[in-house]
Structure 1
Amino acid sequence: MNLKNLFIAALLCTVATVNARPRPCGSFCKFRLCNFDGDRTTLPKASFTILGAPSTAQLPFICRPGQKVGEVLKTGEAQVFDSGRYVPISEWSPRGLRRNFISTYIRPFKVPALPHSGLGRLSSSVNQHSFLHDQCMIIPVNRYEIINYATGRPTRILNASGRTECVAFRTTAPTIEVKLTWDSQDDFDLEVEEPDGDVLSFRNTRTEYGKLNGDNNAGRCDSDSDLFFGRENVVYFPNPNIETGRYKVRVIHYNKCSRRPTNWKLMVVINGAVKVKQSKFSAVEGPETVGTAAFNF
């Protein structure tokens, strides 16, 4: 073979290699994930979703461009992208997994205070939780509501089938998650003090290994928003250097504007298991600490 033919062969090999690269995670799926911050913002394909406390969902929610999707009523089995193909999660057997997932392990749950569904999980067994972080997954959507955004009520129900009727997402499975939710437009704040004394709060949203998602509902009382819920969460993603010791949590009712008491809920999830769970009401004018908790890691 002469030099010219060698060059052509090498070029063809390179082109074949490029063409063989897998497409982005679930790029064929028509459903997406959306955030709700007063508006419904469509996120890029295969955005991250937190698989936090079992049997709960949080934003982002499942949506579809061009349709006013409400709750997702039925889905197929989640599939994990592994070795170039999508594998049903009940058949997924990565090395070291000590118990297989059940087919309904990942499924939609209703998002509190919104007429939408988000992705969540069932309770983990043995070491399942440690395999969930940063995986590409898709889940088929089989039946869902179309709603009136003004009322939040369904106007019709649609059935779906086919390869593209799915939502793609990447998973995040925090080692530690501290989640605060509440059912009014009041301003609540979540603070977590780490064993070395560093504090995660709206004033300091990052430490070496922890992250707070922001100051939710700040200034909401002075706006015309119809957003009657709030959420803040602190997450520590898998890292062998996460500080060990005692963590202290504070719930602060910073500003009140609702006429009724606000129901706030606090949850601490460590390695997929719920360790702290509180649900209380607050009607203070603020700012005032209305709840505390502590946990060891």
Structure 2
Amino acid sequence: MRFSLLFSFVIVVGLCSYKFSEAREPVCSKFAYEEQLLEKMIRTEIKVETMVNEFKKTEDNVISTLGDIKQTVADFTDMFADMRGNITDEMLKRGDEIKRREESFKTSIEETRKNLTSDIEAEKEKLFQLQGKLEQPPIAFYAHHLKDLLLDTTDEILIFEKTFTNEGTGYDTSKGLFTAPVGGLYQFDVHTCAYNGKHSYLGLVMEGNVIAADANFGDASYGCNNFGAIVRLKSGSKVWVKSTSSGSVHQLYQNSHRMNSFSGVLVNY
């Protein structure tokens, strides 16, 4: 279609050119005129054919180039699609990894928080207990002056009827018993003096069990002995001093130079 239009255009141009040239050239004969016209038409046709071939080559080159461009674009499109797919997959993997680490981090933080909360609560409880202990009054007593010096009854409780110290009011001067106001570690000491020429057998008792014992022989010098123990008591536990043996030669002695005493102190909770 394009060739036909181009050919017609060329024929018309040729005819027009011929008419203009005909006016300038002398006419010899009808045959010469027709020969010249034919020659010009052949030359024009050859030029048109050459131009058509050139246009055809140009068109083929353009089409080929466009095809190459389309292929290149397609190749780039596929390459970018692959790259985009790879990038998308990598981003998804990275996203999953980040999410997994985030969950792991959250779990770790939550466990740490729980552990810290538990530890803090435990420490607070210890502090409350320590505060309670610190707020409690000190426990200590020092009792002296025996009500009865004769040890004529076995298991008789020695009653020290006077106190210099009775912090926490644990010692009962009417019964000779110490009752632990609070549980803890206590230290007890007993100091007694035997009558001249006589002796004594004594024991430190905790809840009915002898935990320390002493035998003192006065001879001719009114000798004095010390004994005691360190024990852990529960709140309400009782401690006292008793005679573990009795008789007419069992007797204690006291004056301004010799004091019988019973003491105790809470050393630790």
TM-score, length-normalised on structure 2? 0.26
Q: Larger Cα Rg: Structure 1 or Structure 2?
A: 2
Bigger proportion of residues as helix = 2
Structure with the bigger percentage of strand? 1
